[in-house]
Amino acid sequence: MPSFKAYNLEKQSVEVPGTRTPGATGYYRHAAFADGIVRNIREAPQLKTFYDVWQNSVTLYADNDFLGHRPFNTVAQTYGGYTWETYRQINQRVSAFGSGIMHLNEVILGNDQLNRWSLGIWSHGRPEWFISEMSCNTYNLVSVALYDTLGPDAVEYIINHAEIQIVVSSANHIASMLENADKLPKLKAIISMDSLHDTVPVPGATSASQVLRAWGAQKGIKVYDFNEIESLGRDFPRKHIPPHEDEVASLCYTSGTTGQPKGAMLTHKNFVAALGSNREGMILTSDDVLISFLPLAHIMGRVVDSCVMYAGGKIGYFRGDILLLLEDVAELRPTFFPAVPRLLNRIYAKLVASTIEAPGLVGALARRGVAAKMANLAAGKGVHHALWDRLLFNKVKMALGGRVQVILTGSAPIAKEVLSFLRIAFGCVVLEGYGSTEGMATATITMADEYIPGHIGCPRAGCEIRLVDVPEMNYHSTDQPYPRGEICIRGDAVFKGYYKDEKNTKETIDSEGWLATGDIGFVDNRGCFTIIDRKKNIFKLAQGEYIAPEKIENVLGARCNLVQQIYVHGDSLESTLVSVVIPEPETFVPFANSIAGTSVILGDLEGISKLCKDPKIRAAVTKELEKAGKAGALRGFEFVKRVHLSTDAFSVDNGMMTPTFKVRRPQVAEYFKEHIKAMYEDIHNSTPAAKL
């Protein structure tokens, strides 16, 4: 089970003396590592690459169960329990698959054997994902994760940008690649993670695999299944080609905000540094069991998995359906549950409904129990209570299988009340981490016994942080009571740069190795950091997706003739967007009249104001914005879910626009804050609880 080192909660990080410069704070380091940050795995400094880490685990834990999944019974149409493969067995498959793709690339496709190349991986987490990635590390190749929510255009861009010739994919993505083969001139082979050796149900009929292979041949793309490549590798085995620590292990493409995704070049040194830094905070063991469902195209998921792998623990993958996740959790009974705020919010809502909001005696007892445990937590007395755990919360723990010792949340902020409730409800450590793709998701984390919510903790052992002035937003390192500024991080986990993108690399990393995050924060007297703003008008929704509101406003304003002015609002504690629209009278009035059956005329401000308040009209405008969003190729999470209509136009005079006629976002948000609040309340009240 996980263990944690005890640190001083009242002095979590310190500013290194003599490191202040004009316009910035000094360097803040974890208080226990003030003399120097961690740059490797201190207990195993000989491990320099991710390949070294894997071979170390194979040596130490060869016969331990490692990767598990729930096989699907095609006859019964049901999923079974978890089946496992050991570290030794997975290592054998890594060597076989790695040898197979090397033979495929050099002998079958005829590529130069001296060139390092990139392998695309497109699937949710499963054993074949790990085998594909570790094969790249074993044969000194570069893994490139593809991700569904980036959209087909982004996937096409990444395959071409990274010059990927071979993609390993779950079967459901093969057709889309073949359909777009003309746009993927580099793509030469697709390897299906799912078997293509299906039986022909009727004599003389054509199987799905035959269709795919024939379609691929027509497009000049060879189609194989995973087992075929492993078999090829066993027939033509290759010696391992250990990488160097400074070589790129993976290209991790960020979702971006405007323009195309950027490929962060993550080196072997980055992976080892992140692992070493995480090891200083939480020590996992071979007894630990992880439920792996975070997207492995995002670096947080891979860092978490690698921490368990290094410790010799077990990784059980979910089935790929987030709505069935808790069924997988109940079957696996993990000890380690990494998550994102959106999921934890759903769990919180379900628990609240069944406890403190429950009717009768159950609700009354739950409210007393929650109050008692919250009081203990606020007083720094921990998350356990002998009486209330026995009466109530031991049953609550079963929602996550009953064995969870650690919940880790990241990728977006989580509300204070949710964090505290989860701590006392599950009686376990709940950690909140902060980081970015460019820094291996390893910048700050809260301490295990933290009882004050609302911040992102202190620097990791392998990271140092400083705050840099942002004068145009009135944030300064000299601010009182606490220094404020852009959060910049430095350490061996910071990436090498963006692939084929020197301009953005230089804008993101300075000559001293400081990574500019774009997040504005402050550091308090305990040495804890809190994020308060973004340097640019970019933010994350609760599920971790970046939003560029001005881009969305431009799309909707250009494509919906009902709009005179529009402001799109999002909140990192919410998963959806809402908007304030100032209608264009000439088009809005007849449109609204046709819906409401009224005869308001242009110039009738009172009549137009009444139309704006009509729920049917607001709903109709929302649908028109949805049409505009689809026409403008917005992604699903970029659509606005509610609209407030107003005749109070944004202007320079009322302070809601600049002299150059740009919207002053904070001022608009403040002016319409009650309406924004009401829109979110309406969303919450009208959305049925999602099935967990």
CB 29 within 8 A of CB 13: yes
Whole-angstrom distance, CA of residue 100 vs CA of residue 232: 5
3-state helix, strand, coil in the chain (%, to 5): 40, 20, 40
Render pLDDT for 198-239 as a digit per residue (tens, 0 to 9): 654 555 555 677 889 999 999 999 999 999 999 999 999 999
Which residue do the tokens 């041949």 mark?
Answer: 217
Q: What would the pLDDT profile of 410-440 be if each residue is shown by its tens digit?
A: 877 787 888 999 999 999 999 999 999 999 9
Q: How many whole angstroms separate alpha carbon 572 and alpha carbon 409?
A: 14
Q: What is the pLDDT of residue 594?
A: 94
Residue 6 three-state SS: coil
| Distance (Å) of CA 551 to CA 472, 556, 683 | 22, 9, 23
The amino acid at residue 588 is F
Residue 423 CA to residue 448 CA, distance in Å, equals 11
User: What are the strands, taking DSSP E only, across 427-570?
Assistant: 429-434, 444-445, 458-459, 464-468, 484-490, 497-498, 515-523, 529-534, 539-540, 546-547, 563-569
- Given this model, what pLDDT does residue 256 score? 52
Give the integer Cα–Cα distance in Å for 413 and 275.
Answer: 23
If we measure between CA atoms, which residue out of 82, 189, 80, 166 comes closest to residue 126? 82
For 616-670, the pLDDT digits (tens) are 999 999 999 999 899 888 888 999 999 999 999 998 778 787 544 568 888 899 9
Measuring CA to CA, which residue among 617, 540, 526 is closest to residue 571?
A: 540
Looking at the domain covering 3-40+335-492+517-534, what would its CATH class be?
A: mainly beta
Please indicate, yes or no, whether the overall pTM of this predicted structure exceeds 0.85: no
What would the pLDDT profile of 66-82 be if each residue is shown by its tens digit? 999 999 888 888 999 99
User: Which pLDDT score, from 0 to 100, does residue 633 have?
Assistant: 83
What is 52-243's CATH topology?
Rossmann fold (3.40.50)
Q: Which residues have a Cβ under 8 Å from the Cβ of 327 and sit 6 or more positions away?
A: none
The answer for residues whose C-beta is within 8 angstroms of residue 165's C-beta and 6 or more apart is 105, 109, 111, 117, 186, 187, 188, 189
Q: Are 552 and 634 in contact (CB under 8 A)?
A: yes
Q: Percent of the chain scored above 90 by pLDDT?
A: 69
**The residue count for the chain:** 692
- Give the pLDDT of residue 255: 64
The arithmetic mean of pLDDT across residues 574-592, rounded, is 93
For residues 181-206, give the mean pLDDT: 80
Q: Quick check: 185 and 118 in contact, CB under 8 A? A: no
For residue 661, the model assigns a pLDDT of 59
Max CA separation in the chain (angstroms) = 82
231-273 pLDDT, tens digit each: 999 999 999 999 999 999 999 998 654 457 899 999 999 999 9
CA distance 468 to 479: 11
CA distance 676 to 685: 14
Are the CB atoms for 592 and 598 separated by under 8 Å? yes
CB burial of 283-319 (b: ≥16 within 10 Å; e: otherwise) equals bbeeebbbbbbbbbbbbbbbbbbbbbbbbbbbbbbbb
The predicted structure's pLDDT at residue 198:
60
For 275-325, write each residue's pLDDT tens digit.
Answer: 999 999 899 999 999 999 998 988 999 999 999 999 999 999 999 998 899
Domain ranges of the chain: 3-40+335-492+517-534, 52-243, 548-686
H helix and E strand count, the chain: 22, 32
- Does the domain at 548-686 match CATH 3.40.605.10? Answer given as no
**C-alpha to C-alpha distance for 491 and 459, rounded to whole angstroms:** 11
